[in-house]
Chains A and B, each alone.
Chain A
């Protein structure tokens, strides 16, 4: 019964979403306060219903209820419990349900905690959220229903794709979706403002925490996905520029731009129109990303052709939301009042430069992602746009951005002094340059690129530190006063510094791995020794092992460091999942400091086992940097100023009532 109850809850959630998209909008139109208020309880109830539906689906997975088509297609009774649960969103239908669940969660949060929003704005925001939820629920119920039943029910399922049976997959999609869907709130606020034809001064203040939260989740989601690909796919790459990855990177780029332009809007009421446009674009890219990843609409034209209802539905959703929002923007943008003035060289100007570079970078990635798909759709010819394209287009755009980052926080609002900012940064610049030069001369095989890259990464980190030091006046005031100022510094400033330093860490990791990595491919027999990165690996043996739903051959390598000290062992294996008849490679990874030894085994040949060994210096910094960025976002989020919002409401309401009397 729980399955059907879940199905019913989902249908009921659609009914509520339809009400939510219509009633508050009409209420705002005719000025009926109770009608505008309908959105709040409906959004919260809708969330409860979607949550119930999702719980019913997860329960069906846990119980291996193969009378549910979706469970039969993606689960197996012998699968470990954790992967039964995560399997619920490891497929198209389930992941769409997760998407809607998160959407409903955000809608409910706006309804529950947006007490200080003006009622018409809140009504319109919830209506737009309801519209998005309606579209997705219709899509789920009519083309991707996870509650379709099978009768008679098979006795065993077809199992989940083995490479998705991984803890990384348990965390990656929810994080990614929290990011994608978080941007729906900014989108709803933007569209609501356009519907009303005016933007409140507090608009940016309300939008920024949502954008910040979405951005932090998306950062984490992308990093998690990258790390998953790194260890699960077994070729040791951390970024492949494939459409699925680009799809999550695009909203990140425009979301980062949105985050920064919202600062200008909040502080100086400038860049209003641009910010609204960015909010629309960011969520549009999120929608594109959702469908690119999940349905493979554009990654494979054949999928699109094989299931036309789904593809047409997706196109309709994209056209409706992206086209509709942009059309609304075209009609209403002129009505939005422009904001404060500023000189090109100023904090505002720096943020505009940031926006220009980020959006241009996003545009190049978009072109590189969609162009081959478009060509394939139109001519049937398959072309591949890979790393060379992005190295030529994306990297030259991103490098100046990285160089410029430390300047931003040091420039004054309205009218800045570039020279003064540069002077304040000279210590950071000197330190970074010195490190680069030293690394060039000290490390053998280090190329000039590596030295420059290292210097760039350190420049970002030192720049972020300089910003903090200057703000608390180190060197100018006694240490005790500086410490006091440090404690009094707004959290958002720490957030900025952390996020920028995190970017530097990631850059450092990327540069170190791409330029200094060592790789060795060889065939080994038991007892043979391989040397790499100052470590030696002794191939001990290959032994069979049986897991819950797979069998594997485990190759065990003993690791010894310099001087022969034993450092334990690395185990890499080739797995075979019988239910799907699929082999996978499980890489063996050992972390030493910030660097990693990565071992991946291939087939057995006459001359021994094929073994690929990589020494990946500072590779963990790529993801640690993302983690630091996430923490930066979280710290900013907890800034009191953002949380309190508009404090003076009650007093004002009383005053208004007094005036009325």
Chain B
């Protein structure tokens, strides 16, 4: 809209420029012949100077003076003969009208044909601030990847690419790109939070310990980072610490400005949490909702399920080989609970306690953690 206003103003200015000579009173100009006579006078004056400098002989100068004099005479005669030039005021007015009209017609017509008025300016710096969206993401990514292959040190390129990967579900690439950006250009709250989010995506919506560490680093850099706060709350919810999660989400949905995308997301999470609790009050059992998983990834549901199961299975296998890993057990328990496989969770807790020792500090902490998820060991 503003563009059209400016375009209209420009057109108006241009039309006024065409009209200008008609808006002021005509002033009389010297006839062309008078300019000529002035030049001939100058030529006569210069002749004297040239004679003085010896650039022309006296006799040649006299001849030249005669030549110039004849020209002045001829000119004066011609001027006397020719009267005032004819004035065609009406015709001139019509031509002027056509000229003034031509300005908007030609410019708006041609611009309608050639221009792309709806297309905003896209300075690169501004584009890097926001998520690139649009149809040709693949092309975009390919070009950027080619560029980064030539310039692996280009932190900005990696930074552009990382969120794009995450959006497309290429979490592994996204994690690598974020790590690369942080290594090249240093950590910022946004980069760390992005890294954590990609990790959550990779584990199918489970906030893993690595992801939580990334969010913690992000919040160390910027306590108010919405992304990091949201996922921290999600981690609490997934651990079954619903009150802590609710507190954070509540705070976010109340204090965030209206234009923040995280306000709505936090509100949605709150609603989900309430619904899940209600369900649990009814059924007596259900863990944190499946929606959390759905919210995080946008893969095909079957594929996602498969991927998560694969990951959980590999974690389980790892812990069978190397059970002295309380953090790993915690992740496994939380994963089983999120997946709704409570029996296996209980079984895993049993194995963990067997390995760590039920009476050890670590074992007791794990038992307490399992309690928050509503799991007790199968003996």
Contacts and interface: CB of A to CB of B under 8 A. Distances in A.
Interface of A: 1-5, 7-9, 11-12, 14-16, 18-19, 22-23, 26-27, 30-38, 40-42, 44-45, 49, 60, 63-67, 77-78, 116-121, 141, 145, 147, 149, 151-156, 200-202, 205, 267-269, 340-341, 347, 412-415, 471, 578-579, 641, 646-649, 652-653, 656-657
Lowest 5 CB-CB distances: which A-B pairs, in order?
Answer: A63-B123, A32-B92, A37-B21, A31-B85, A64-B124
A201 B39 contact: yes
A566 B14 CA distance: 64
A19 B120 contact: no
B18 A19 contact: yes
Contacts of B355: none
20 contacts: A5-B3, A5-B6, A12-B103, A15-B14, A15-B103, A19-B99, A30-B86, A32-B89, A34-B26, A34-B92, A36-B21, A38-B20, A64-B125, A77-B156, A154-B139, A200-B35, A201-B36, A641-B42, A649-B35, A653-B34
Given A4-B3, A41-B17, A66-B124, A156 B143 contact: yes
A8 B68 CA distance: 52
* Most chain B beta-carbon neighbours within 10 Å: one of A22, A38, A67, A200: A38
A45 B13 contact: yes
A622 B150 CA distance: 41
A7 B63 CA distance: 60
B174 interface: no
Contacts, number: 250
A172 B148 CA distance: 34
B107 interface: yes
B132 to A, nearest CB: 7
Nearest to A48: B13
A347 B32 CA distance: 29
A7 B6 CA distance: 13
A1 B57 contact: no
Interface in B78-126: 85-89, 91-92, 95-96, 99, 102-107, 110-111, 114-117, 119-125
A42 to B, nearest CB: 5
A194 to B, nearest CB: 15
Given A7-B114, A413-B64, A652-B30, 6 more contacts: A1-B3, A14-B107, A41-B21, A49-B10, A152-B139, A656-B30
Given A7-B111, A41-B21, A65 B28 contact: no
A570 to B, nearest CB: 29
A78 B157 CA distance: 11
Given A67-B121, A202-B36, A652-B38, A5 B7 contact: yes
Interface stretch (B48-56, B250-258, B308-316, B345-353): B48-56
A333 B23 CA distance: 38
Contact of B29 (A5, A23, A156, A653): A653
Contacts of B134: 152
B259 interface: no
A244 B56 CA distance: 43
A34 B22 contact: yes
A33 B139 CA distance: 60
Contacts of A40: 21
A2 B68 CA distance: 57
Given A7-B115, A578-B150, A649-B34, A205 B39 contact: yes
B83 to A, nearest CB: 11
Nearest to A578: B150
Contact of B38 (A65, A641, A648): A648
* Most chain A beta-carbon neighbours within 10 Å: one of B86, B88, B115: B115
Interface of B: 2-3, 6-7, 10-11, 13-14, 17-18, 20-22, 26, 28-32, 34-43, 46, 50, 53-57, 60, 63-64, 67-68, 71, 85-89, 91-92, 95-96, 99, 102-107, 110-111, 114-117, 119-125, 127, 132, 134-136, 139-140, 143-144, 147, 150-151, 154, 156-157, 160
Contacts of A31: 85-88
A414 B63 contact: yes
A63 B125 contact: yes
A646 B45 CA distance: 13
B10 A646 contact: no
A97 to B, nearest CB: 14
Nearest to A28: B85
A19 B102 contact: yes
Given A19-B99, A652-B38, A4 B32 contact: no
A415 B60 contact: yes
Contacts of A30: 86, 88, 91-92
A412 B21 contact: no
A12 B57 contact: no
Nearest to B86: A31
Nearest to B132: A155
B14 A151 contact: no
Nearest to A77: B124
A4 B119 contact: yes
* Most chain B beta-carbon neighbours within 10 Å: one of A117, A201, A340: A201
Nearest to A340: B67
Contacts of B56: 412-414
B123 A34 contact: no
A546 B64 CA distance: 71
A64 B71 contact: no
Nearest to B151: A578
A653 B28 contact: yes
B136 to A, nearest CB: 5
A116 B35 contact: yes
Contacts of B64: 268, 340, 413-414
Contact of B123 (A42, A65, A118): A65
B55 A413 contact: yes
Nearest to A64: B124
A225 B63 CA distance: 47
B39 A646 contact: yes
Nearest to A268: B64
* Most chain A beta-carbon neighbours within 10 Å: one of B21, B102, B135: B21
Contacts of A120: 32
A470 to B, nearest CB: 9
A483 to B, nearest CB: 16
A145 B114 CA distance: 9
Contact of A35 (B7, B68, B92, B154): B92
A151 B37 CA distance: 63
A9 B10 contact: yes
Contacts of A3: 119, 121
